[in-house]
Structure 1
Amino acid sequence: MKKIVVWGFIFFTISPVFSQKFQDVVKAETEEEVDELCQTIGLGFMSTPKEVEDIINEIVQTAGVSKAGFELKECSNIENAVAKIIPIQGEDVRYIIYDSDWLQSLINSTSNDWSGKFVLAHEIGHHLNGHSLNNGSSNHDYELQADYFAGRALANLGASLEETLLVTSKLPEKATSSHPARADRTQKAEEGWKSVKNKALTIKVRKEDESEVALKLVQMIDNKLKSRSLIKDDYQKTLKQLSVARNRYYKGYTEDIRYFEAICYTGIENQEKAMDAYVNYLSIEGLDKDQRIKEISELYTNSPIDNTAFFANTSVVYHLSKSYYKNKNYDKAIIFGNQFLTRSQDADKNSDIIEVIATSEFEKIEEGINGMSVKESVEKAALYIQNEEYSKAFKLLTKAAESKNAEAQHLLGNLYLYGRGVEKDASKALNWYISSAQQGDVEAQYMAATCYFEGYGVSKSLKNARFWFNKAAEGNHPYAAEGLAKVEAEENPKKSIPVKKTESKETKVETIAKQVIKGDSYFNKRMYPDAYNMYITPANKGNAHAQERIGWLYYKGKGVKKDKDLAVSWWKKAAKQGNVEAINYLTRLGQW
């Protein structure tokens, strides 16, 4: 098998699972620092094979970027890869440092050369998405964007879906503070792959192949959409007219048809198809109609549906950054702004985006409460909830929720539903749950479903309950399947089999599993004292996941008094059972 060497996913090679920890892209002062890093850990730098450079160029070309601007250095025995931004003669240079033997072990474990390319594409995605310009800190959004980019890149390079996703089977099953769960990452890589393979290509019709009928039909549609106010029925008819133009005369999609479809799906309020249409339009190669780009970008950023996509067109990225800033979604304004600066050579637009990024960073704190950014205020509110200081939490969450923070909206819904820190109002609770659920918050999706099923703040609706329980199930919510079963039982009372309550008969294994699931729920909500109380019994009975979490709580002093010795003790118990997270923690501390 040919050796393919790449950098920075980053996996720690512990069979059978490779635990990815994207290393922060940090500023180094000189190139000598990179040499020192390698020499202190490994055997010194070796030359970079030309095949590595060729692979990088291939991947970068799939993004529509002509110059990658990466400097490559191979460093043996580091068993991972590192990305560093190094200022050389006043310019930031993007360095990739990698261990070829480490990568080869990954390729061997999957029997798939595409695994190496996926890892490389993932890291290039971090760079081209502007993550490294934002100090390189990793989070779930960044990782999912990079996975989407990798799936998209491999599809463009000719990989099958199976070949693309093989490497994701080696990712940790459960989410960490910096990385999403395996299922979420696999799904996002698949979405990236399908964005290429399942999309009918937008065609440029040659002059000699233009159909006079189609041209006239498209002109009539254009006039119709511009000339008068339309109702849903008008947009439905227009979609049928577009189908005739596309299938009977053009035999494919054109820029006009993609644009009109986006407008029509918006008009009939089909949010999911509208979002697909926005992505399809903004992904058109060589798109240059600035006013239309701006219009669809604004529809994309205003949509309640959260979507991860990679856009190669710099004009699209420019307008997305500006539109997110206009909507006060400062985090995404910064992300797309950094993407634009990574690729643009337009001095005037660069100046605009620098202003957007700087102002966004300023306003994130300015518009927070007591000098905190929205994210910080949500974290503070979660602590207030743990300590049952609900009035303080309500004050912080209200402003954060109005800034469209999904977690704040979900937590605020809880306060309204249970009347904590505010007068009980189930209707307001449901509204906040839906706002959060539409952004993909799984717990909010479950709570919205529960409200519809029980009739909290709204007339009971099994249809809506089923919809949101299904969404929560797609996000692996532990109780969504039970909710769907209840809906099924009410919809088909004669066919349904009563659910037997097994609390008194459940096995010890089932009891421990429920405690761990409950502990994870508290942990993810930052309700650390409750998480500790749930984890401690399973941990004492030998559950490795609970032991790893107990160790984390002691190490961080969350919910319990900080005690690093106890943390190490619990991690060692988990590590002896093969828990990858515990092994990683101990490795970093030199205890394994």
Structure 2
Amino acid sequence: MLKNKVLFISAISIVICSLIACTNLNKQDKFPTLEEECKLAGSISKQCEILNKEDFTLDDKQAALGFLYLFGANTVIVDYDKAYYWFEKSATAKNNEALDGLGMIYFAGLGKDKDFQKAEEYFLEANKYGSKDAKLNLAELYRVKDFGRSPDFEKAESWYLLGVQDNPSRAYEGLSKMYLDQENYEKAFSFSEKAAELGNPEAQYNLGVFFEQGVYVKKDKNQAEFWYEKAAKQGHLNAINNLNILRQK
């Protein structure tokens, strides 16, 4: 009787081990390798273009593939699961772009639940390893009214100012939004102007709104049209709409 029990337990153990092995195998085989991605997509695909980048390390290619699936391109359909998978693989080598990509996924809730703490951790790690975007991503994270918490404008301002060295256009535009959130229209206008002069389409649109509505400055239809037109030429949809309405008045 004891012998039968031992045999029965052994049989269960074998089944359990087999199931675990199969699960792990499926987990590993869920997505194609870099080479398979290229083969499946075709020789002139973005996937093959990334694979054949001679100046890219393996983790660079993995991160690039992550962004390809995060945003999509041409015939490549957005796939957040694949994006996360490739970012995770690249992040094991401390690739700063992949770490930034994981932060973006948790910041925006792209295929994963929004998670402030995880987004913050990934952005901080990305910044530590030299990301050019992490400072401003952190600034945005602290500025937004999200995640069931109040904005931390002090931290946001600090990171925006640090980010000026990497991307002044985006940093100034972010600062203008932060001051708009605080209804400090003087500073909001000043930073919108700085970003607009650097060609930032969102800031150009915002300047158009300032002049059209007479916020902080006097109403000026010509100035509003000037800035809407600049943003519209860069494809800013709200600027295009506002410009058409303004010209009909």
Give the alignment's TM-score, normalised by structure 1.
0.22
Name the larger-Rg structure.
1
